[in-house]
């Protein structure tokens, strides 16, 4: 079962599982995901359930005969967690609690939880390793920290074998547009419109951009590798990139190598983190995971696939 399987990351996980011959149940309320994201995976091995992961009855029914759960359903916006923390907490924490309880009752073997680098908060040392203190600075990050604790407690209490994946900045096809979309997509949309790129703060913020193809591989490793049981793993590229560097790279890829980014600086946003970059040595050593998509290659493929018509 893939919760949030019609969303950005979840639908890519579904694609991979279907290709490998798995029977997959997707649970998604379509509040942010789209059924269109699953059209490439249609067939007898995919069942779609429209529903809320906080709904005990829907979750219990969907978990029948499930061996592995990939829990990717969440409200992923830091900004929305600041403006509506109660709603985000209901989905990200209470929804996870419901799913864990019902998964234990259903006899699920393995549970892979999609967490976030937001649990670290403001890190002093980069790259950040899994044993760094957890000091989230947003309700979103705090909710993910609480959900991680629930996952580990469930596993200790005879629940499913657990693996927790802390995603850094994931990008790729199907990432959402609109108010809460990621910086890569926002930059691309403004470049298509020949508008300046909006940068919050001075642009020296550091991020670790990891391609969704690599994130899916990390999920599969976590679900199938013995070393994944009980583990907490960073999922990133291991490369630090500033927002200013990203702006220049996207500008060159979309407008030509001779172009320079036009930037419009705005005040830094509440809840934003200055530095975020993954130490991925643990997942490399334990699960054998190696990121295979460089930022330059991944961005070129993504921008061409998603924005070709707008660029024309």
Check whether residue 116 and residue 32 sit in a common domain.
yes
Which pLDDT value is given to residue 311? 54
Which pLDDT value is given to residue 271? 64
Which pLDDT value is given to residue 76? 87
Roughly what angle, to the nearest 10 degrees, separates helices 183-192 and 243-255? Answer: 40
Which pLDDT value is given to residue 72? 98
Check whether residue 219 and residue 82 sit in a common domain.
yes
Check whether residue 298 and residue 225 sit in a common domain.
no
Check whether residue 64 and residue 190 sit in a common domain.
no
Q: How many domains does the chain have?
A: 2
**Domain range spanning residue 256?**
183-206+239-284+286-311
> Phi, psi (5° rounding) for residue 68?
-130, 135
Check whether residue 20 and residue 164 sit in a common domain.
yes
- Residue 58: which CATH number? 3.40.50.720
Enclosing H/E stretch for 166: strand 161-167
What is the secondary structure of 215-244 as a DSSP string?
HHHHHHHHHH-GGGTTEEEEES-S--EEHH
Q: Which residues are catalytic?
A: 140
Check whether residue 133 and residue 83 sit in a common domain.
yes
Check whether residue 160 and residue 19 sit in a common domain.
yes
**In 3-state terms, what secondary structure has residue 13?**
helix
Under 8 Å between Cβ of 75 and 91: yes
Check whether residue 122 and residue 20 sit in a common domain.
yes
Which pLDDT value is given to residue 42? 67
Which pLDDT value is given to residue 39? 86
Check whether residue 250 and residue 223 sit in a common domain.
no
Residues of the chain with pLDDT under 50: 312
Alpha-carbon span 268 to 1, nearest angstrom: 38
173 within domain boundaries? no
């Amino acid at each position: 079962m893939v919760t949030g399987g019609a969303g950005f990351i979840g639908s890519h996980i579904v694609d991979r599982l279907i290709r490998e011959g798995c029977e997959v149940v997707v649970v998604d309320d379509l509040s942010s995901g789209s059924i269109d994201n699953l059209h490439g995976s249609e067939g007898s091995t995919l069942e779609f359930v429209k529903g809320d992961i906080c709904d005990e009855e829907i979750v219990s029914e969907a978990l029948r005969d499930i061996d592995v759960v990939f829990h990717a359903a969440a409200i992923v916006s830091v900004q929305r967690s600041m403006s509506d923390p109660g709603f985000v907490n209901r989905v990200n924490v209470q929804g996870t609690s419901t799913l864990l309880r019902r998964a234990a009752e259903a006899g699920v073997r393995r549970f892979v939880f999609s967490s976030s680098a937001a649990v670290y908060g403001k890190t002093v040392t980069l790259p950040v390793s899994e044993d760094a203190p957890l000091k989230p600075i947003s309700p979103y990050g705090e909710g993910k920290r609480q959900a991680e604790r629930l996952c580990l407690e469930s596993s200790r209490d005879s629940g499913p074998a657990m693996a927790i994946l802390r995603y850094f900045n994931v990008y790729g096809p199907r990432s959402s547009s609109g108010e809460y979309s990621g910086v890569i997509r926002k930059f691309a949309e403004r470049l298509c419109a020949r508008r300046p790129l909006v940068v919050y703060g001075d642009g020296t913020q550091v991020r670790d951009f990891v391609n969704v193809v690599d994130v899916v591989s990390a999920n599969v490793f976590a679900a199938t590798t013995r070393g994944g049981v009980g583990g907490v793993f960073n999922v990133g590229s291991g490369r630090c990139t500033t927002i200013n560097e990203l702006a220049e790279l996207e500008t060159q890829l979309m407008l030509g190598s001779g172009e320079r980014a036009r930037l419009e600086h705005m005040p830094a946003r509440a809840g934003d983190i200055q530095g975020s970059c993954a130490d991925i040595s643990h997942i490399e050593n334990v699960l054998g995971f190696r990121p295979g998509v460089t930022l330059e290659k991944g961005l070129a493929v993504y921008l061409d696939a998603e924005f070709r018509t707008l660029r024309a």
